[in-house]
Amino acid sequence: MKYSGLILMLLLALSSCNTVQQGTTLKLAHGLDPSHPVHEAMVFMADRCKEISDGNMTIDIYPSGQLGSEQQCVELLQIGSLAITKVSAAVMESFTEEFKVLGLPYVFRSREHSFKVLDGEIGDELLLSTEPFWIRGLCFYDAGSRSFYTIDKPINTPDDLKGLKIRVMKSITAMEMVKAQGGSPTPISWGELYTALQSGVVDGAENNPPSFYTSHHYEVCKYYSLNEHTMVPDVLIISQKVWNKLTDQEKLWLQQAADESVEVERKLWAKSEKESLRIVQEAGVIINYPDKEPFAAKVEELLESYSDNELIYDLITRIKAVE
């Protein structure tokens, strides 16, 4: 593994879990802007953790990629040089196969359905499934619904995706989803996407409203088609090595603060989503609400293709059974 010398020096100076006379301090790093609802929820978690522990446990937050990229943060977390970070559930697919189910299209009937699944037994199983890789999930944050946005034309039906290069995350399920609906999936890093859209390397992308707005992709893509094909949550993860060093009481404090931050994040997200759609529409983006049924029908075969995978298909069945 390769890290920049600056990051390593900084992390050596700022250990991930410092125990001093006053208590324990954990280092949390992520790549989001401080105005992002997920960052705001993390700030709430840090404040709440300090409050319920009477100052015996604190969390120092480093946003905006100060301690490295998302991938670097995950790698540093695995070796215990960083305590906590935030990733998309899609990133977790590379560690455990179970996480693939969260990236499957139309596996959730609604936002409320996804919350019930993530807050329940299935969610708990997924959060602990990465422990063999020195990663433990603390909670899921709402990341909204992902929909298509394009440069030249709206996506009203799956047929409109034919011949279009659509940027996707480096996720197998994301690529399969776009391919099943007729598009040509093109993995490109998030940081390079604006230029790729501007230069025509891709014809569009797919993401949630706040990300569409904060990335300024609406400056290039003037059509946003809210077909809401996936609801891939974010995951707050902690280094298993750091977790193992905490006392039972410290673990309870941290988990309580994380759990309470989930409700705060969901409210902040809903507000941010509404505001983002208003702003991009005022900027000239045409927002359309296509019928979801044709899109869902296109991916039925994709879901059924997992019938030979007992692990994933069992999760799909259990998720659909949640009322």
pLDDT attached to residue 1: 42
Average pLDDT for the chain: 92
Task: Please state, for a pLDDT cut of 70, what percent of the chain lies above it.
Answer: 93
Could you give the percent of the chain with pLDDT greater than 90? 83
Residues 65-87 have pLDDT tens digits of 999 988 899 999 999 999 999 99
Q: Which domains does the chain possess?
A: 5-99+109-142+233-274 (3.40.190.170), 146-231+284-321 (3.40.190.170)
Instruction: Give a three-class secondary structure readout of the chain.
Output: CCCCHHHHHHHHHCCCEEEECCEEEEEEECCCCCCCHHHHHHHHHHHHHHHHCCCCEEEEEECCCCCCCHHHHHHHHHCCCCCEEEEECCHHHHCCHHHHHHHCCCCCCCHHHHHHHHCCHHHHHHHHCCHHHCEEEEEEECCCCEEEEECCCCCCCHHHHCCCEEEECCCHHHHHHHHHCCCEEEECCHHHHHHHHHHCCCCEEEECHHHHHHCCHHHCCCEEEEEEEECCCEEEEEEHHHHHHCCHHHHHHHHHHHHHHHHHHHHHHHHHHHHHHHHHHHCCCEEECCCHHHHHHHCHHHHHHHHHCHHHHHHHHHHHHCC
169-189: pLDDT as tens digits: 888 888 999 999 899 999 998
What is the mean pLDDT of the segment spanning 103-110? Answer: 94
Q: What is the pLDDT of residues 197-236, one digit of tens each?
A: 999 999 999 999 998 998 999 999 999 999 999 999 999 9
Q: Is the pLDDT of residue 193 over 50?
A: yes
- pTM of the full structure: 0.86
pLDDT of residue 235: 98
